[in-house]
Structures are given as structure tokens and as C-alpha cells.
Amino acid sequence: MSSARQVDPVEEEALPRLTGTWSLVLGTVAVAAIGCPLLPQSVPIQLRYLPIYFILPLGVWAVVSGGIALRRMRGDKGASRLKARVGIVLGTVAIVTAVTTLAWAYWMLRHI
């Protein structure tokens, strides 16, 4: 037997791979929350307007977690960075939409 450590292939597959899935999920939920006020009137008002408060935090978390995932995948040649990048884009869309809406509401209320 050699003194080199032998790696079991099953054990090697059990290691988690960073894929950016969390960033994708958070970005998707943030963008989906933008459309909640457009749900029909038959949906309770709490389900239509409560998700609005989570758009900005979810968007920020999507961008941050996507950036962390991309940074950790930096040296890995076989890693797919698509999910992390799409999560960052969706998070950015959610952030820009929320900030633009807040700025528009502030501007409109200021001119009343």
C-alpha cells in the first residue's frame, strides 16, 4: 500500500458543489413578488401586498449570494456559473424596480 491518501469515488461525489442555486431562487422569488399586486381581487389582500416588502431584501440577498458563489467557483474549471449570474441579474432587476418605484412615489407625493 502506498502512503498516498486514496480517495473513494463515492465520497468525492458527496461533496457539495457550489452552483449558485440559492442566488437563482432568491432572484426568481424577488421578481415574482413584483407581480403580486396584480393578482385578482379574489386573492386575500395580505397575499397580494405583503410580498412587496420582501422585494428589496430578496434582491440584495440574490446579488450577494450570487457574488459569493461566483467567487468560490473562481478556480473551478468545470463549474457552471450560469445560475449564479442569472440570480445576480434577477436580483438586480428586483432592486432597480423597487428603488425606481420608491423614487417615483416620493416624487409624485412631493408634488401633491
Mean pLDDT of 11-30: 79
What CA–CA distance (Å, rounded) separates 88 from 102? 21
Residue 31 lies in a domain: yes
For residue 14, is pLDDT > 70?
Answer: no
Query: Burial level of 15, CB count in 10 A (0-12/13-18/19+)?
Result: exposed
Residue 44 lies in a domain: yes
- What are 22-56's pLDDT values in tens digits? 999 999 999 999 999 999 999 999 999 999 999 99
Residue 13 lies in a domain: no
What CA–CA distance (Å, rounded) separates 66 from 18? 10
pLDDT at 1: 53
pTM (global) more than 0.85: no
Number of domains in the chain: 1
Residue 77 lies in a domain: yes
pLDDT at 18: 64
